[in-house]
Amino acid sequence: MSRRSGILEFAVLGLLRESPMHGYELRKRLNTSLGVFRAFSYGTLYPCLKTLVANGWLIEEPGNDTEAAPLTGRRAKIVYRLTAEGKEHFEQLLSQTGPDAYEDETFAARFAFFGQTSRDVRMRVLEGRRSRLEERLEKMRLSLARTRERLDDYTLELQRHGMESVEREVRWLNELIESERAGRDLKDPASGEPGSRDTTSGASGGLPRPGDDPRPDTPDDTAT
């Protein structure tokens, strides 16, 4: 399995842990959840769903429009529901803190589900991500020091922009780690009061709230 396929399976299991969904709804949630999935197609999602069903982690159920389907001539939408085995598998994935969790795409997916992740695991992932970025930043600085005399102004500015982006994320991670160590949850933006951790929006591809209006798309999630 490729890393991207593994991230997609992780995200699908995480979203279906919240509630059952049909394929079109699931795709919309993925499109507005994680930047790495904004260009993926049904040709990617449905093989993933079939694999998860075959593994016993999901089950397929007829949607609520089964009575209306004969009138429209369309087949009923399939709803995907997480099984007990699927929930257990997702929790195992949530507990993993190996090097893959620190990579760009994987970290975005992991952070999107921090609300379902234990504090100690969050800490290990955040600290691992920070270490990875600090290593990257040091390499970028060394590379820039060696090559800056040979770079034109625009290439040099692009290099600086990349370094500044990494530096900003390191500062952001420092703030998150400090909050975790202090035992503080992220504050509710509306009330300003601490509450349950809200990972429905914000940096690194937070999940959208259920009422969000994603960009237009064309449904195609009937049984095949």
Ordered per-residue pLDDT tens for the chain, 224 residues: 677 788 899 999 999 999 999 998 998 888 876 665 665 666 788 999 999 999 999 999 987 765 544 555 566 689 999 999 999 999 999 999 999 999 998 999 999 999 999 999 999 999 999 999 999 999 999 999 999 888 999 999 999 999 999 999 999 999 999 999 998 766 544 444 444 444 333 333 333 333 344 344 444 454 44
d(CA 55, CA 80): 13
d(CA 47, CA 140): 38
- Look up the pTM and report it: 0.74
Residue 86, classed as helix, strand or coil, is helix
Q: Beta partners for 61? A: 79
Could you confirm whether domain 1-63+76-100 is CATH 1.10.10.10? yes
| Residue 32 Cα distances to 11, 66, 106, 139, 163, angstroms | 12, 28, 16, 32, 27
Which residues make Cβ contacts (< 8 Å) with residue 185, sequence separation at least 6?
Answer: 179, 194, 195, 196, 197
